[in-house]
Copies of this chain bind each other. A is one copy, B any other.
């Protein structure tokens, strides 16, 4: 659990895979966080002043809190990619690596003299995963990619909204969803390409191109073929689902919200009984899902009148006892204090040598024979914490 802890147990699936990160901010570092959680050796190359993401959010004595998670299980070295020494060290890192992840703006790596052709000259088997806002080609390639474009252009933000006109703009997703998705796709494609290279002495490395816009757009379900066939343009549905009733999110006495899925016939009857409306359970106007959809406003008003009388956790407990699927909208306290999160080690205390005891989320995948705690081998290190160790290794490995 510290930077000097022993290396990963070989039971982690990517034990032995060597990855270089030339990343900053979110997308590429998230990709390598997942690869490192999976057991890969990740060497993160940062500028001498550190990845600028270290300046985001809170810090304790100058040590950024988010980076404890965002940088965990990685080795950090600092290099100036504009200097001859920095470039030479990147080439040495690449010579011994299986893969590299980068998220500079398209063309920047080439301007450093470290583009795919340069890197493949050093190591023809290297898998190179590139992440950018709009991709490595196309008319928007060189447009500045700010955080929200993927969400907005990929079609998600239009849907994250209440129906009809509103004075409030559709809210952001609340997290850097387009960077996260792109990082996940880059990690997945990188491992797939490494699977192809492994065990084939003739195999060449690959270049993978992942963009934020396309990553978000990949989640649009059947909306693209429906537009193509019928001209339909999906509109936002808020918290409800047009084709199922009652299923919605309802206000509670403590200002929190309760999400309830009561749309199957049997669950609907249990829901009506639980909220003290047994007559509604037998009302012919509510006898089927189709009829309930027609009369959904009345049902939603009836349910909300009940939820408003109770704090969200109490209303949730009543409905759970009645076996009606529901969930409060968990905030971070709800997550951190929930017994299921604790029992699954989804939330776990970890000793961080820079911050003391901190809570870490588990890796989002678990493997038989590996405890979630053993997947956090060490916490995010200071910038350059592994310079001496890594640079010495490079001298020893390359004569």
Q: List chain A positions with a Cβ less than 8 A from chain B.
A: 13-15, 17, 34, 38-39, 56-58, 60, 64-70, 116, 134-135, 137-140, 143-144, 146-149, 152-162, 165-166, 168-177, 180-181, 184-189, 191-196, 198-199, 206-211, 213-215, 217-230, 232-239, 241, 247-251, 255, 257, 259, 261, 325, 327-336, 338-341, 343-344, 346-347, 349, 355-369
CB-based contact B139/A343 at 8 Å: yes
Select the residue from A155, A188, A215, A261 with max chain B CB neighbours within 10 A. Answer: A188
CB-based contact B198/A154 at 8 Å: no
- List of B residues within 8 angstroms of A192 by Cβ: 13-14, 38-39, 191
Select the residue from A67, A170, A195, A238 with max chain B CB neighbours within 10 A. Answer: A195
- List of B residues within 8 angstroms of A14 by Cβ: 192, 195-196
- List of B residues within 8 angstroms of A173 by Cβ: 156, 159-160, 173
CB-based contact B221/A175 at 8 Å: yes
- The 10 A-B residue pairs whose C-beta atoms are closest, nearest first, are A159-B174, A66-B222, A228-B359, A169-B249, A189-B365, A199-B199, A218-B364, A169-B239, A152-B327, A13-B192
CB-based contact A169/B250 at 8 Å: yes
The answer to whether A210 and B332 touch (CB under 8 A), given A138-B344, A192-B191, is no
- List of B residues within 8 angstroms of A238 by Cβ: 168-169, 171-172
A-B contact sample (18 more), CB < 8 A, given A69-B225, A177-B219, A188-B191: A38-B188, A38-B189, A68-B222, A69-B222, A137-B344, A160-B160, A160-B173, A169-B249, A170-B257, A174-B237, A176-B221, A189-B365, A198-B199, A208-B366, A210-B364, A214-B346, A224-B359, A233-B332
CB-based contact A227/B257 at 8 Å: no
Tell me the number of copies of this protein: 2
Complex-state Cα separation, A339 to B357, whole angstroms: 50
- List of B residues within 8 angstroms of A219 by Cβ: 175-177, 180
Name which residue of chain B comes closest to A136, CB basis. B366
The answer to whether A195 and B193 touch (CB under 8 A), given A159-B173, A330-B153, is no
The answer to whether A189 and B325 touch (CB under 8 A), given A331-B155, A360-B225, is no
The answer to whether A174 and B186 touch (CB under 8 A), given A57-B222, A362-B214, is no
- List of B residues within 8 angstroms of A174 by Cβ: 156, 158-161, 236-237
The answer to whether A171 and B327 touch (CB under 8 A), given A139-B339, A208-B365, A228-B359, is no
Complex-state Cα separation, A339 to B134, whole angstroms: 12
Complex-state Cα separation, A338 to B363, whole angstroms: 37
24 A-B residue pairs with Cβ-Cβ distance under 8 Å, sorted by A, are A14-B196, A64-B222, A65-B222, A137-B343, A138-B344, A140-B340, A146-B325, A148-B247, A155-B332, A155-B334, A159-B174, A169-B249, A171-B236, A172-B239, A174-B236, A195-B198, A198-B199, A208-B365, A209-B368, A213-B346, A217-B364, A218-B364, A225-B358, A233-B331
- List of B residues within 8 angstroms of A148 by Cβ: 247, 259, 261, 327
- List of B residues within 8 angstroms of A160 by Cβ: 160, 171-174
- List of B residues within 8 angstroms of A15 by Cβ: 196
Complex-state Cα separation, A191 to B34, whole angstroms: 13
- List of B residues within 8 angstroms of A222 by Cβ: 56-58, 64-70
Select the residue from A154, A156, A229, A236 with max chain B CB neighbours within 10 A. Answer: A229
Complex-state Cα separation, A74 to B2, whole angstroms: 44
Chain B nearest Cβ from A369, distance in angstroms = 8
CB-based contact B159/A175 at 8 Å: yes
Complex-state Cα separation, A150 to B232, whole angstroms: 28
- List of B residues within 8 angstroms of A161 by Cβ: 171, 174
CB-based contact B261/A224 at 8 Å: no
Select the residue from A34, A173, A196, A336 with max chain B CB neighbours within 10 A. Answer: A196
